[in-house]
Structure formats: C-alpha cells, structure tokens
Amino acid sequence: MTQDEIFSKVRAVIVDALAVDEEEVTPTASLVGDLGAESIDFLDIQFKLEQAFGFKVPQGDLFPENVAQDPKYVREGKVTAEGIAALKARLPHVDFAKFEANPAINKVADLFTVDAVVKYVARRLADK
C-alpha cells in the first residue's frame, strides 16, 4: 500500500470519527488543536484504524497514556529531556522537532498529527 493510499484511508477514518470536512484533514493538522479531537475520540480513531487496516493497535501504542503523571518526565510544566526521550522511544511515528523547541506539557497533544497517524499505520503495515 502506498503512502497516498494509507493517507486516503486514514483521512476517511478521521473524517468519520471526528465529523470534520475532508479538506481539514491535512498531513500537518493536529488531531486536537486543528480537528477538535477529545480523549474519547482517540479510542474511536484507534478502533476505526483497526477495522480499516486489519491490525490490532495495542493500548498506548499509537497514543500514549499517563506520560504527564510521571514527575521525572514533567517538571514545572515542561516535558524533561528524559520525558522527551521516553516519548520518542514509544512514538517513533511522531515528529518531535517543533515540540523540542518548546516542550510545554500542554503542547503534547499537538504532536498527534494526521501525518503521525499515517506514519504509524505505514510502520505497522510494513511489520506485517
């Protein structure tokens, strides 16, 4: 499956899960900031991806949980270097370049872009 085919299917999943217009679902669109996703929507997206692509998404594999609760990962409202390293290890499909310049904890949700989902799916399909 090509990147374009993966993107098209991911776009359809996100349009369905978030009830947004197809034009809004661009590679750089943040699921939360640009498309209005809430925590419950992440479960729906995960479920719909499993159906669309035929693989199981392990809990916390696509969207991590509880990173902000660990004091060694967050200090004074910022994700620590150790926290960024842990996120990178858990989320190889996410681009951290902009986040590292300002690792504010309230910006973690912005890491989850349409492109990150596409990269995750491509990696999973390659591992099949």
How does pLDDT run along the chain (128 residues), one tens digit per residue? 999 999 999 999 999 999 999 999 999 999 999 999 998 999 999 999 999 999 999 888 888 776 667 788 899 999 999 999 988 988 899 999 999 999 998 888 899 999 999 999 999 999 87
Which CATH architecture fits 1-63+112-128? Orthogonal Bundle (1.10)
Q: Would you kindly state where each structural domain of the chain is located, as residue ranges? A: 1-63+112-128, 64-111
112: number of Cβ within 10 Å: 25
The model carries a pTM of: 0.90
76: number of Cβ within 10 Å: 7
CA angle centred on 28, ends 26 and 31, rounded to 5°: 80
Rounded to 5 degrees, what are φ and ψ at 30?
-80, 135
